Every structure is written in structure tokens, then in C-alpha cells.
């Protein structure tokens, strides 16, 4: 039944005796991330980023009939990938509200939380979603299409200073000041509503490899459109409350800005690097035991088979 449904929804084709072929999204570090959760067969788990459901399906495989899985995705499109399984509850909302929705479902404490951050291949490969520099399309980039902020609205409304900071901090664009000034100048006569309009407008400011440059510009816009760092912080801050003692968090991030937040929070319960304080009276009480001292990276085979996995870093921690 479940297999039939997967094929009908063309998320992952599973033929008898063959490895699944994922069309919607190839799950990254599937086994490593789910192994990290140390699944209890009758436990309650949360997949914060359901997407094509690859990680969720692996979690379900390891749960018995008493187990439960809450799957969040702020993009309602992901819902079509839901397996026909009564142990899974789909929550079509941002994971920043994880604790609120768990309370609503009377599951205040859980045994594990998984997050595989960023966008799915399906979102990325749809020109009209505006995530990829490879196509022309609207400058949208919203994972949640009911939200008001799009890449185009940011380009039209942010001040030069805001644009400068955004490209500097989120895209690490080397000439972010010039880039911001160019956008402010261009938008006086250019609507900057489409990917090609933006690329055309930035011809003169591109530094180095254009693909890399536009990738950085797009990364910054995407992070801003979806408040990606803020929502990650909000999720991390809820983990101590949401996880049972011994519960695990398994988080895959795709750029250093996210990975740094995860690393610091797992290590010390705060987001900034720890600095030496001579007046400190002692060690802060630890919230987590860090399971991955160094982040886990995809194996060379996985990186070869799925180049999009290359920048992924997995960190796992256990609630004390
Ligand atoms: C990288 S994909 C996850 C793929 C999934 N693990 C799989 O195996 O198919 C990320 C998904 O999470 C969703 N997402 C990203 N940030 C989110 C957030 N803050 N709240 C809810 N969903 C989010 C995206 O819409 C996307 O569908």
C-alpha cells in the first residue's frame, strides 16, 4: 500500500528488491542522521523538515506500532509525499512553533528531533519558486508561500545599509557594499522582479566566477526571505524543553552560518563562541552531551552520487 502511494506521488520509486530512487529529494546522510537519533521503537519523534519524507520513512521503519512521528513542513506541497501510515502526523507549519504544536497534540516531550535544513531538490528545481540561479523565474524564494516577504520585495524595500549587511553576513559577498549600492541605483528604473532582471542588473558588479557570485547573492536572499537563521535559533532554544532526558537531536546544516549555531548551542547552550571570562565562577550547567565531536560529513560515495550533499554537516546531541 505504502509503496503504491509513493509511486503514485512520484516521490521515491520503490521496486521490489531495489534501492529507492528519489525524485522529489534525495535524503542526505540518511542512515547517519537517523542512527544519530538512537531510535526507541515505541518513542515519539519529530522530523522538522519533512520534504520528500526520506528521513521520516527511515524513522518509521525503526518504530513499532506504538511509535509516533510528527512531521513538520512549512511548504504544503510536501504533504503529497506523506506515507499512508497512521503513526505519522503532518504539521504544515514552520518548525519554529515546534513546542506549541507538540503541546497541541499532547506530546510535550519527545525522544528525538531531526532537522535537515534548507530547501528540497524539488523546491530548488522548480523555476517558478525562484530558488535556483539556473533558470529564469520570479524572485520569490519563499518556502512558505503564504508569507509576505519575497526576494523581490526585499530588493525593493530594504535600505542600502540593510542590503549591504544582508549580503555581507548571509552571503559573505566580498563587494557587498557595491552590490547594495548597485541594487538601490538599478531599482529606480528596473523592476527587479525576475532572476534574469537581477542577473542583468548586476553584470558590472560580479566578482570572480559568476556562478559562485550569484550563488552567494541567492543564498543571502534565501536566508533573509525565510528568516533561516532566526528560525533555527528558535528551534534550538526549544530543544531543552521539548526533548526528554536521553532524547537526541540530529541536525544537518548546509552552510557554516547554520553549522556554527548548532555547534555552539549543543556545546554550551548559547549561540556565541565561548570567550574566556576571568570573573566567571565556574562552568555553566551543561544541557547536552555532544555525540558528534566533529560534524559528520557525507561519505565520498554519497558526495559523488549526490553532489548537493557536499556541503552537508551533521551534528548530534543528547539531552542530559
Ligand atoms: C532539505 S529538505 C528536507 C528533505 C527531507 N529530509 C527528505 O528526506 O526528503 C527541507 C524541507 O524542509 C522544509 N523547511 C525548511 N525550513 C523549514 C522550517 N523552518 N519549518 C518547516 N519546514 C521547513 C522545506 O520546505 C523543505 O521541504
pTM: 0.92
Q: Where are the alpha helices (DSSP H) in 187-299?
A: 195-201, 210-225, 228-242, 256-268
The pLDDT of residue 22 is 82
CA pair distance 118, 81, nearest whole angstrom: 17
Which residues form ligand 1's pocket by a CB distance below 6 Å? Answer: 25, 27, 49, 51-55, 72-75, 78, 94-96, 116, 118-120, 143, 231
Task: Please name the residue whose Cα sits nearest to atom 9 of ligand 1.
Answer: 52
Grid cell 549543543 is found at 266
**Which pLDDT tens digit goes with each residue over 55-108?**
999 999 999 999 999 999 999 999 999 999 999 999 999 999 999 999 999 999
Mutate to test the pocket of ligand 1, among 28, 50, 91 (most ligand atoms within 8 A of CB): 50
From ligand 1's centre to the CA of 15, what distance in Å?
A: 25
From ligand 1's centre to the CA of 188, what distance in Å?
A: 36
First to last CA, the chain: 40
The pLDDT of residue 279 is 73
Sign of the C-alpha dihedral computed for residues 316, 306, 39 and 232 taken in this order: positive
SS3 assignment, position 131: coil
Pick the range with the lowest mean pLDDT from 10-24, 32-46, 80-94, 208-222: 10-24
The answer to whether 97 touches 20, Cβ cutoff 8 Å, is no
Mutate to test the pocket of ligand 1, among 80, 120, 258, 261 (most ligand atoms within 8 A of CB): 120
User: CA 228 → CA 117, 139, 192, distances in Å?
Assistant: 9, 17, 23
17 burial (CB, 10 Å; 0-12 / 13-18 / 19+) is exposed
Which residues face 279 on adjacent strands? none
Ligand 1: which atom is nearest the Cα of residue 235? Answer: 19
From ligand 1's centre to the CA of 161, what distance in Å?
A: 30
The answer to whether 192 touches 180, Cβ cutoff 8 Å, is no
Contacts of residue 105, defined as CB under 8 A and 6 or more positions apart, other chains included, come to 70, 89, 91
CA pair distance 164, 33, nearest whole angstrom: 36
Does residue 145 or residue 280 have the better pLDDT? 145
Task: Please name the residue whose Cα sits nearest to atom 20 of ligand 1.
Answer: 94
The pLDDT of residue 198 is 98
Contacts of residue 111, defined as CB under 8 A and 6 or more positions apart, other chains included, come to 37, 39, 40, 43, 44, 45, 243, 244, 246, 247, 248
Q: Average pLDDT of 174-193?
A: 97
CA pair distance 62, 51, nearest whole angstrom: 19
Q: What share of the chain is helix, strand, coil (3-state, %, to 5)?
A: 45, 15, 40
Ligand 1: which atom is nearest the Cα of residue 81? Answer: 9
Residue 67's Cβ-side half-sphere holds a number of Cα atoms within 13 Å equal to 21
Amino acid at each position: 500500500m505504502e509503496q503504491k502511494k509513493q509511486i503514485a506521488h512520484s516521490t521515491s520509486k520503490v521496486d521490489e528488491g531495489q534501492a529507492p530512487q528519489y525524485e522529489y529529494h534525495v535524503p542526505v546522510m540518511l542512515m547517519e542522521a537517523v542512527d544519530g537519533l538512537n531510535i526507541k521503537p515505541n518513542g515519539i519523534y519529530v522530523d522538522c523538515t519533512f520534504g520528500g519524507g526520506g528521513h521520516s520513512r527511515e524513522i518509521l521503519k525503526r518504530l513499532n506500532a506504538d511509535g509516533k512521528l510528527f512531521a513538520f513542513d512549512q511548504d504544503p506541497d510536501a504533504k503529497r509525499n506523506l506515507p499512508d501510515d497512521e503513526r505519522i502526523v503532518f504539521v504544515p507549519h514552520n518548525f519554529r512553533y515546534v513546542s506549541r504544536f507538540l503541546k497541541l497534540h499532547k506530546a510535550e516531550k519527545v525522544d528525538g528531533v531531526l532537522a535537515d535544513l534548507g530547501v528540497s531538490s524539488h523546491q530548488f528545481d522548480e523555476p517558478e519558486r525562484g530558488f535556483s540561479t539556473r533558470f529564469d523565474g520570479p524572485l520569490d524564494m519563499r518556502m512558505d508561500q503564504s508569507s509576505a516577504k519575497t526576494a523581490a520585495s526585499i530588493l525593493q524595500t530594504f535600505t542600502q545599509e540593510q542590503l549591504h549587511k544582508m549580503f555581507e553576513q548571509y552571503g559573505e559577498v566580498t563587494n557587498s557594499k557595491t552590490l547594495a549600492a548597485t541594487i538601490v541605483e538599478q531599482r529606480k528604473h528596473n523592476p527587479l522582479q525576475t532572476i534574469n532582471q537581477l542577473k542583468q542588473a548586476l553584470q558590472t558588479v560580479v566578482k570572480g566566477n559568476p556562478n559562485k557570485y550569484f550563488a552567494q547573492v541567492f543564498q543571502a536572499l534565501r536566508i533573509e526571505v525565510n528568516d533561516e537563521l532566526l528560525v533555527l535559533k528558535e528551534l534550538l532554544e526549544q530543544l531543552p524543553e521539548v526533548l526528554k532526558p536521553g532524547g537526541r537531536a540530529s541536525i544537518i546544516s548546509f552552510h557554516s552560518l547554520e553549522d556554527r549555531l548548532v555547534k555552539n548551542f549543543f556545546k554550551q547552550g548559547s549561540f556565541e563562541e565561548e570567550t574566556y571570562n576571568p570573573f566567571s565562577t565556574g562552568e555553566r550547567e551543561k544541557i547536552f552531551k555532544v555525540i558528534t565531536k566533529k560534524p559528520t560529513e557525507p561519505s565520498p560515495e554519497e558526495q559523488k552520487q549526490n553532489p548537493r550533499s557536499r556541503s552537508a554537516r551533521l551534528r548530534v546531541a543528547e539531552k542530559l
